[in-house]
Chain A
Amino acid sequence: MLTIIVTGLLFLMFGKPLLQSLDVFLIQPLTNDNGLAELGVKAAPLILIGVGIALASRANIWNIGAEGQYIVGAICGGGLALAMPNTPALVLYPMMLVAGVLGGMAYGGIVALLRVQFNANEILTSLMLNYVAQLLLIYLVSGPWRDPKGFGFPQTAIFSPNAAAPVLVEGTRLHLGVVFALVVAVIGWLVLSHTILGFQLRVQGSAPRAARFAGFSDKKLVWLAMLVSGGLAGLAGLFEVSGPIGQLTTTISPGYGYTAIIVAFLGRLHPLGVVLAGLLLALSYLGGESAQIELALPSAVTGIFQGVLLFFLLACDALILYRIRGADVGRFAGLKARFVSPKVAPL
């Protein structure tokens, strides 16, 4: 709500009528042709990655490397699509899905390995590996994998139809990945709230000492968190290149891996919350474009909207918790630790 007010003020600052601006920013993108489908397409990678990050963050594992895992997933799956374009779709596409997931898992696994074996902080290693993945992608598409008929431009050949993500609604870009995103979110929620594993993740996050006393394996959880979040990021990358993009280029991600961190926190690290948050952020992109077309506002408005949104969310959380603390400290202490301040593992 506050965000809408501040954003509204921003619009006023630019001398735009308030209601019309909000209409353009928040409503119009949805009512357009294919608006909902586009929202889903934009939100799908954010949700897939966001759910993974949310699960990992619950266990105090900070995966900043989803961007890299997304790219590696796209490279692995995309490489398969390029290598065997004539394989029937029913065989090829599932293989690509697996390759994408495995690629992301492997890349996330490096981080887990370094953390478990060498105690290396996962925030920093995963962050560094993002750059390495991006450079690897640029190398591949401008070197060995470059489309031989592409006049030297740094992109691969367009994938064969066999390697295309199935489109669900004819005439839109709504692809299989959108469904996967929702399914993954539901599974994530079930795992978190109804299984021992989820319990372990939560305990590890809110009370690491208690987790240790309970005999939960810290190492196992690190592995699990990184493999799951990495695999989901890889899956997101695979869907993106096999769906809306249809080839590998140097710019397959406009920073999804980072935006998804915001999505995860905006969604309170709850898989279903992540779905809502993913949709909301996706809407802010669409709205930002719509505002540029209709109101000639600069594109920086999108970034500011997102910043303000998260700022207020984090701030409100704290304020609400303060109030709760006054009333009933004991009951909500764990809640506070879980939602507001998962501790960073010692470096």
Chain B
Amino acid sequence: MMNRRAFNTLLGGTAAAVGSGLVTSAEAAVPKVAFVYLGPVGDFGWTYQHEVGRQEVVKHFGDKVSTSFIENVPESADAERVIAALAAKGNQLIFTTSFGYMNPTLKVATQKPKTFFEHCAGYKHADNLGTYNVRFYEGRYIQGVIAGKMSKTGVIGYIGSIPIPEVVMGMNATLLGMRSVNPNAKMKFVFINSWYDPGKEGDACKALLDQGCDIITQHTDSPAALQVCEQRGLKAFGEATDMIKFASKTQLTSPVNNWGPYYVKRVQALLDGTWKTDDIWGGLDADMLVMAPYRNMPDDVMALAKSTEADIKAGKILPFNGGMKDQSGAQKGTAGKSLDDGQLASMNWLVEGIEGKLPS
């Protein structure tokens, strides 16, 4: 498996000095930055967090940049038109915030070499197309540690969206975290084939609870599962944003996608004329991932969660420290050494202790 960097170089070539020649004649006024969103800004999950990031850009730069966004853009033929329209309207930096925009973004980037693009969660690059994403699995490891301490049955339920490496990574990290405090911990999971469907998420949550899971975590965007757990008096984790107001007695913590600082940095680079393509995968240490306040847990568990968070930040805990076994019992990676980014980005196996098979 090619690792992520090698892959980039292959696709992107060298990131030569593209930064110059950006400001064109009369357009010199205020640089325009645009965001393309998959969901409504009101989804209170994935898109909402990107919108929070955009607002931070607005707050930070004030009149120095002008931003706009388009919401509810389907990952169909429409995406390319929207992205191209934004480029045509003189936006100099365009963030496309969903995996499905990868090929459309690449196509437009090829046609508009003077415009810069940043695509979230993809793997294709060009001189004027960079990618960025968050190391979500770091937060999930912490969740696993908390779950390991809090769960009585030792079985966590995981509501997954679709079985891509991103999600598989999160499942594995959660169980590894859990097993670090409870070696017998297990996980059951359900894929709902959607990132956002409150009805299905609630149903999936109930199905998992009914099968003996007593703590729930999710890689889907609505707070439905938290609400189900709140009704049943059980604990759960939020997703993407702090969902505490949906379930004040239930949410233990939530990994918060913190795009703001990253967006500010990249827009600054645009203003400075130093923007160049990159492949950013930031986690807790880069502040791209923040944990919502730890709540609804005993002090010792909270202390452990905090120390785990600090250790991951400092690189003392590597969630995918090699030496783990997959479901068949085969050794994965080498002990004491973290899996590399390429191995992570193509992860398609589950660690021992997760029940159920990945759909092939």
Choose one: B71, B78, B99, B359; the contact of A142 (CB below 8 Å).
Answer: B359
A112 at interface, CB cutoff 8 A? no
Binary per-residue interface labels of chain B (327-359) against chain A in the complex, 1 for a CB within 8 Å, 0 otherwise: 000000000000000000110100000000001
* B348 contacts across to A, CB distance below 8 A: 152
The answer to whether A138 and B70 touch (CB under 8 A), given A151-B123, A152-B346, is no
Task: Assess whether A158 is in contact with B88, with CB atoms less than 8 Å apart.
Answer: no
Task: Assess whether B162 is in contact with A151, with CB atoms less than 8 Å apart.
Answer: no
* A250 contacts across to B, CB distance below 8 A: 75
Binary per-residue interface labels of chain B (82-124) against chain A in the complex, 1 for a CB within 8 Å, 0 otherwise: 1011101100000000011001000000010000000000010
Interface size on A, residues (CB 8 A): 39
Which parts of B142-187 form the interface with A (CB within 8 Å)?
162-165, 168
Give the docked Cα–Cα distance between A286 and B82 (Å): 8
* A245 contacts across to B, CB distance below 8 A: 76-77
A32 at interface, CB cutoff 8 A? yes
* A296 contacts across to B, CB distance below 8 A: 68
Task: Assess whether A293 is in contact with B34, with CB atoms less than 8 Å apart.
Answer: yes
A21 at interface, CB cutoff 8 A? no
A60 at interface, CB cutoff 8 A? no
Closest B residue to A39 using CB positions = B81
Nearest-neighbour CB distance to chain A for B273, whole angstroms, equals 25
* B193 contacts across to A, CB distance below 8 A: 138, 142
Closest B residue to A37 using CB positions = B81
Give the docked Cα–Cα distance between A238 and B157 (Å): 40
* B123 contacts across to A, CB distance below 8 A: 151
A268 at interface, CB cutoff 8 A? no
Choose one: A32, A173, A240, A243; the contact of B88 (CB below 8 Å).
Answer: A32
Give the docked Cα–Cα distance between A285 and B70 (Å): 12
The answer to whether A249 and B80 touch (CB under 8 A), given A32-B88, A151-B164, A292-B71, is no
Which parts of A113-171 form the interface with B (CB within 8 Å)?
138, 142-143, 151-155, 158, 171
Nearest-neighbour CB distance to chain A for B332, whole angstroms, equals 16
Task: Assess whether B80 is in contact with A244, with CB atoms less than 8 Å apart.
Answer: yes
Task: Assess whether B80 is in contact with A158, with CB atoms less than 8 Å apart.
Answer: no
Give the docked Cα–Cα distance between A171 and B70 (Å): 24
* B281 contacts across to A, CB distance below 8 A: none
A306 at interface, CB cutoff 8 A? no
The answer to whether A34 and B84 touch (CB under 8 A), given A143-B359, A154-B164, A245-B76, is yes
* A230 contacts across to B, CB distance below 8 A: none
* A142 contacts across to B, CB distance below 8 A: 162-163, 193, 359
B74 at interface, CB cutoff 8 A? yes
Task: Assess whether A32 is in contact with B85, with CB atoms less than 8 Å apart.
Answer: yes
Nearest-neighbour CB distance to chain A for B86, whole angstroms, equals 7
Give the docked Cα–Cα distance between A289 and B193 (Å): 27
A67 at interface, CB cutoff 8 A? no
* B294 contacts across to A, CB distance below 8 A: none
B72 at interface, CB cutoff 8 A? yes
Q: Which of A158, A249, A292, A298 has most chain B Cβ within 10 Å?
A: A292
Task: Assess whether A293 is in contact with B68, with CB atoms less than 8 Å apart.
Answer: yes
Give the docked Cα–Cα distance between A171 and B111 (Å): 8
Nearest-neighbour CB distance to chain B for A41, whole angstroms, equals 7
Task: Assess whether B78 is in contact with A254, with CB atoms less than 8 Å apart.
Answer: yes
A202 at interface, CB cutoff 8 A? no
Give the docked Cα–Cα distance between A254 and B73 (Å): 9
Task: Assess whether B70 is in contact with A299, with CB atoms less than 8 Å apart.
Answer: yes
Closest B residue to A138 using CB positions = B193
A328 at interface, CB cutoff 8 A? no
A246 at interface, CB cutoff 8 A? yes
Report the 9 A-B pairs with minimum CB-CB distance, sorted nearest first.
Answer: A244-B77, A254-B74, A299-B72, A33-B88, A251-B75, A152-B164, A292-B70, A293-B68, A299-B71
A-B contact list, 22 entries, CB within 8 Å: A41-B77, A42-B78, A142-B162, A142-B193, A151-B123, A151-B345, A152-B168, A152-B346, A158-B103, A173-B81, A244-B77, A244-B80, A246-B103, A249-B75, A251-B75, A252-B76, A286-B85, A290-B85, A292-B69, A296-B68, A298-B71, A299-B40
